[in-house]
Structure 1
Amino acid sequence: MNRAVTLRVAACGLLGLGAALLIAALLLSTYTTSRIQKIPLDLDATLVSNGTGSALDPDSLSQQNFVIDKNVPLVSQQQISVESPANADVVTLQVGTSVRRTDKQKDNGLLLAMVDTVTLDRSTAEAVSDETHPGGSVQKPRSIDDAKAPTNIALPHEGLSYRFPFDTEKKTYPFFDPIAQKAFDANYEGEEDVNGLTTYRFTQNVGYDADGKLVKPIRYASLYDDEVDSEVTAMASQWGVPGEPEERITMQRFYAAQRTFWVDPVSGTIVKAEEHANHYYARDELRPEVALVDYKVTSTQETVEDQVAAARDERDKIALWSRILPITFTAAGLIALVAGALLGSFGMRAEAELIDPGLDRDEGGFFGGFASRRGEDTGPMPAAEAETEKLPAQRPDLHREQGPPNQP
């Protein structure tokens, strides 16, 4: 194979490689990125928040007076795992949430517990409800001695749940509250740094206004058949309210909450959360009389670090496929195209030289001067053109014998 053919083959290979790299860069920045920006199917996280508050002493329920303890240590915990259905389009999250007093042992300190299940669109993080995907459910509470398998109560969800969408925007999102059983606005408030990560801060008010004043608390929706925890009748002496000690007074349970979310705008991960929740009994919804639990908790430092690490992992994965690889492939593709074009040009000149070596001699072509450098005869040299002087074929005899003198 001669030099011209080799150059032409190499040029075609480089041009093909350059085109392939540019197409790959285009696909990565459009099609592949949308496939990458999805809620992971292997979510398994435990989110812990600590704080203090006022809480009912469970032991006092069997006594003559309900006792409300002030400034008790509390811990809120969320256990998030993935259940079926979970596929390329949707993911189902099962979230067990509990609030307990840490100064009480085991179940004596348990104040609130709920198991919520919701199916989300993996790209938008919004609840999905159709014939093949359940909109959501909550687990019916069981007593400690109940040996039956847990049963779910249908609870259609709407809006976001437990995370925000990829490429979170600076706007208001509907965020579902499983206790209130409806979505409430989560309003963008500004940017804030959390452990070196730039986050968007959102606030949500359920029953409170922006100043923390009760305006429209939620009537608690019991998960028990007899609604034993949403409407309670007890004597005035037990409630600790003015009136005849033996008077039977019925109070309703109400709920209100304020939340702040710090969200990674790239992945939609909630890296930090703060919650003020108030469960109380009252005859007038705007006048709390007996607190079940009124608390404020904030994500622990360990939880924040874990969530920030998870958000950074998602960011790195997205950046790799949406920016780093497309830019790298584009640069490599352009270099390959330029190199291929240059080799193609050289190949054409080489082929022309092989066909007619004289084409490029006069004007310094691709092989111009090459033959001369090799010492090949490219034409008569000036010195060769000079006429040489002819020398006599024979020298004169300087010692020729003299004959006898001429006779007169």
Structure 2
Amino acid sequence: MNAAAGQAASPRGRMSLRRAAGLALAGAGAFLLTLVPLLHGFVYDKVIRVPLEHSSLTHMYAEAATYFDTAAMRSRVGDVILTRALNGDTGAGDDQRAVWLESSSLDTADGDRLDYHERRVAFDRRTGAIVNCCGEYVDDDPAARQAGLAFRWPFGAQKRDYEYFDPQVKRTLPMVFDGQETVEGVTAYRYRQSVPATKIEDVATRIPGSALGLPGDRSFTVTRWAQTERTVWVEPVSGVPVKFEEKRRETFRTADGVERLVALAADLRTPDDEIAVNEAEAAAYASWSRWLRTILPIGAAGAGVLLIALGIWASWPRRRSRRGSAPAQDEQQVPRHDLANPR
């Protein structure tokens, strides 16, 4: 009786194990499917952000630029270098915003400074949009209100116009989408900004009339006006600018508003070696972004569906084979005394 009961219970036991395994597989598959929207949205938003801690030094060069030497009171032609330093203030940032300090210096090849600007900027770590807080300032003006983009485009930059702040004229102006281009093998979106002639300072030093093209020995007070044609190439997945070009033109105007002298004319460009550095940074962000938004969600979805299918297959009830059960039925029908005493 006990042996027969054990034989009868064995198929039911195996069926229970299969059902348990099937439920476990289906549960694991369902869990993986729940990860898909989390990876694509929540985890991506938490992981892919501009760092609080940042330190970089970049350059732009212009050959045969024209500039006015205020020490010699004469115009000169030569190479100029724009050096920009960016440093993060980790103590002022948080999960949502970063605070960076920027200083930019325009110098001659001999090291003589032509222009200098400094600012403190708080901005959203995902969108790159400026946030007005945290002791922001532009040069010596703490009342200056910055807006638009400052250093980065949003992750997943779009083929549309963005507002971009120019620290020299202290204005926010459109950065217009101007097409797609390959820069050193990297697909980039091209944006252009036109900064109209804007007064930027009252020049402290009086300029001789002879330098301004005016007759006589008098010197004049002048104002400095600046205008810029700016082009930025942005790797769209990371929002990292990989290349800059700026056509700068600055002039001196006398009190009557007439433009008298070109104080600066320079076509500044990012050098090739720094383009490669910028592209490497962009590639790192883009790689993380693709893993979190594409590769891992697709992998989790595929594995989840497969595990659920395996779970259903494993727990599906199976028919017992009649051929396999026939010997047992024959054995039960043969009397025991006939088996013990064959003729």
Shared fold per TM-score greater than 0.5: yes
Identify, as 1 or 2, the structure richer in helix: 2
Q: 1:202 to 1:281 in 2, by over 3 A?
A: same
Residue identity (%):
22
Q: Is the 8 A contact 2:158 2:236 kept in 1?
A: yes
Give the Cα–Cα distance (whole angstroms) in 2 for the partners of residues 315 and 124 of structure 1.
Answer: 15
**What does residue 82 of structure 1 align with?**
88
1:170 CA drift (Å): 1.6
Q: Is the 8 A contact 2:221 2:255 kept in 1?
A: no
1:57 aligns with 2:69: yes
Q: Match of 1:233, as an amino acid?
A: R
**What does residue 126 of structure 1 align with?**
129
**What does residue 115 of structure 1 align with?**
118
1:101 aligns with 2:108: yes
Highest Rg: 1 or 2?
1
1:81 CA drift (Å): 1.7
1:6 aligns with 2:2: no
Normalized against structure 2, the TM-score is what?
0.86
Q: Deviations over 1:329-349 (max 9, x none)?
A: 11111111011101111xx43
From 222, 231, 241, the counterpart of 2:213: 241
> How many matched pairs?
318
Structure 1: gaps of 5 or more residues = 61-65, 141-151, 208-216, 222-228, 350-364, 381-408
**What does residue 235 of structure 2 align with?**
264
**What does residue 34 of structure 1 align with?**
45
Give the Cα–Cα distance (whole angstroms) in 2 for the partners of residues 59 and 138 of structure 1.
Answer: 26
| Consecutive aligned runs of 4 or more in structure 1 exceeding 6 Å deviation | none
1:366 CA drift (Å): 3.7
Alignment of 1:100-179 (within 5 A): 100-102=107-109, 104=110, 106=111, 109-129=112-132, 133-134=133-134, 136-140=136-140, 153-179=142-168
Q: Match of 1:138, as an amino acid?
A: V
Q: Deviations over 1:133-174 (max 9, x none)?
A: 23721344xxxxxxxxxxx73422011112211221222211
Q: What's the secondary structure of 2:216's corresponding residue?
A: coil
Q: Match of 1:119, as an amino acid?
A: A
1:92 aligns with 2:99: yes
Q: Is the 8 A contact 2:135 2:142 kept in 1?
A: no
1:232 CA drift (Å): 4.1
Please give the root-mean-square deviation of Cα atoms over the aligned residues, in Å: 2.1
Alignment of 1:9-408 (within 5 A): 9-52=20-63, 53-60=65-72, 66-70=73-77, 72-83=78-89, 84-102=91-109, 104=110, 106=111, 109-129=112-132, 133-134=133-134, 136-140=136-140, 153-207=142-196, 217-221=197-201, 230=203, 232-237=205-210, 239-245=211-217, 247-283=218-254, 288-345=259-316, 348-349=317-318, 365-371=319-325, 376-379=327-330
Q: Is the 8 A contact 1:128 1:135 kept in 2?
A: no
Q: 1:235 to 1:194 in 2, by over 3 A?
A: closer
1:275 CA drift (Å): 0.5
Q: Is the 8 A contact 1:18 1:332 kept in 2?
A: yes
1:17 CA drift (Å): 0.3
Q: Is the 8 A contact 2:203 2:221 kept in 1?
A: no
Q: What's the secondary structure of 1:160's corresponding residue?
A: coil
Identify, as 1 or 2, the structure richer in strand: 2
Q: 1:295 to 1:309 in 2, by over 3 A?
A: same
1:15 CA drift (Å): 1.1
Structure 2: gaps of 5 or more residues = 1-9, 332-343
